[in-house]
Structure 1
Amino acid sequence: MTIAIMQPYFLPYIGYMQLMSAVDKFILYDDVAFINRGWINRNRLLINGQEHLFTIPLKDASQNKLINEVHLADDPKWRSKLLKTIDQGYRKAPYYGTVMPLTEKIINFTTDSIAELIHASLVELNQYLGLTTQLIASSSIYNNTHLKAQERILAICQQEKASHYINPIGGIELYNKSTFVEAGINLSFIQSKRVMYPQFKNEFIPWLSILDVLMFNDVPDVRKLLEEYELV
């Protein structure tokens, strides 16, 4: 079994989805410290030919809280505002008609938890793309928050009886391959290739939210883009 472990990101860039599509189980690492100004509740869209950063407002978010302890802001207007922004930016995109209802379902999911919102959104994205990856919240099963860093990752792999663990390339200095091999686990790092596709008639802006990819590509083409990576 191949697994990956990542913090939950809302409507993440395609590299995140490539990692998810490459494994059998994707562990949403939701019982670790929240990161301010990270990608948990933010991402980028294409609005009027320019990249636009959107942020889901949170209530009392802090790096002293775990991700699954962070709640959405009480004012629900952010949902309609974000949908309006997306509508204005992508109304003329070729796959707006099928992707916008999916987007509305994701953003209007009823919860006050950022972790639950992201989990539900990734399930919807998986279903839309026909992926079979199983999504599991780390807070729901492993009970090993006393462990840290590589030790905790390795413990989750062992609990899942994983034979292969894949991590984003950015963590290549954080993990020791020999330690994983000694535990009977192959360790790889995923490196995304440059993914390009038409964005109206604008100069291409890479690494926007997966929503941008979906608005300009049908499902078979997105599935091909999800394979544009190498394992090192």
Structure 2
Amino acid sequence: MTRVAILQSNYIPWRGFFDLIRKVDHFVLYDTVQFTRRDWRNRNRISTTAGPIWLTIPVESTGKYYQRINETRVADPRWTETHLRSLRHGLGRAPQFKTWLAPRLEDWFGAIRDEKLLSNINRSLIAAVMAELGITTTLHSAQDLPEADGRSEQLLEICKALGTTTYVSGPAARSYLDEGLFQSQGVNVEWMDYPTYPTYRQTNGIHDPAVSILDTLAYLPPEQVF
């Protein structure tokens, strides 16, 4: 039995993204689709004492409306230092930050400092967090797998290439995924039901769950994330 999930890469995504990854054998970063501005591909949120802030990777987008995620390039190479400063300022008082998260951030961001492609940046950070969470799921890039016309057809083609028996989908795909098509090819469709995750009190006195996994790891040890 082979379980597969397919999602567009996000910049240091929330913990639900990693929860989905750990529930499958193969996870495909679906970065052969169009890059969407003001979305999660190149930005995410962290908490601060003054409330949540966005961390955004500046990317080249002018005149590139139809570019794919895996074609999207960084516009300013200084973004890593800007984000590290924001993380130190916003999460520096969190209990896990100085002793656990800070040294790892230096390594993770150091490894991607000269990377130009957004998709490679996202994959590197996702893989680094997976390792810390003990997630051994195999990562793939959609560009290395077969393509097909049609949204459901493309996902099914990827599943077939990986010998999938169960495709685990995020809830957003309910509006378009053709379950009958998958079933006709012997692939069962299972929908991810995100649970209520453990809460923690952020420095602003509340718990905002719509934040990057880095926010979560600044407050909770890896074994308490899910």
**TM-score normalised over the length of structure 1:** 0.90
Higher strand share: 1
CA distance in 2, matches of 1:7, 1:86: 24
CA distance in 2, matches of 1:63, 1:187: 32
The answer as to 2:192 corresponding to 1:194 is: no
CA distance in 2, matches of 1:169, 1:134: 22
The answer as to 2:222 corresponding to 1:216 is: no
Give a deviation string over 1:148-169, Cα, whole Å, max 9, x none: 2000101111111100101111
SS of residue paired to 1:93: coil
CA distance in 2, matches of 1:28, 1:170: 16
> Aligned residue for 2:178?
176
CA distance in 1, matches of 2:124, 2:78: 20
Give a deviation string over 1:59-80, Cα, whole Å, max 9, x none: 236331111111111x322211
CA distance in 1, matches of 2:153, 2:220: 40
Give a deviation string over 1:62-109, Cα, whole Å, max 9, x none: 331111111111x32221111011001111211112112222223231
CA contact (8 A) 1:36 1:63 kept: no
CA contact (8 A) 1:14 1:207 kept: no
CA distance in 1, matches of 2:41, 2:91: 23
> Aligned residue for 1:230?
none
**TM-score normalised over the length of structure 2:** 0.92
Give a deviation string over 1:116-151, Cα, whole Å, max 9, x none: 011111110111111101111111x2131x422000
The one of 123, 127, 132 aligned to 2:131? 127
SS of residue paired to 1:47: coil
Percentage of matched positions with identical amino acids: 26
CA contact (8 A) 1:9 1:40 kept: yes
CA contact (8 A) 2:8 2:31 kept: yes
How far does residue 198 in structure 1 lie from its aligned partner after superposition? 2.6
> Aligned residue for 1:40?
41
Give a deviation string over 1:171-221, Cα, whole Å, max 9, x none: 112113222222111101112122222324611111211111111111111
Quick one: which amino acid aligns to residue 116 of structure 1?
A: N
CA contact (8 A) 2:29 2:141 kept: yes
CA distance in 2, matches of 1:126, 1:120: 10
> Aligned residue for 1:98?
100
CA contact (8 A) 1:44 1:54 kept: yes
How far does residue 49 in structure 1 lie from its aligned partner after superposition? 4.3
CA contact (8 A) 2:200 2:219 kept: yes
- Structure 1 unmatched ranges of 5 or more: 226-232
CA contact (8 A) 2:146 2:158 kept: no
The answer as to 2:182 corresponding to 1:206 is: no
SS of residue paired to 2:175: coil
CA distance in 2, matches of 1:83, 1:209: 14
- Structure 2 unmatched ranges of 5 or more: none
> Aligned residue for 2:29?
28
CA contact (8 A) 1:49 1:202 kept: no
> Aligned residue for 2:59?
58
How many residue pairs end up in the alignment? 220
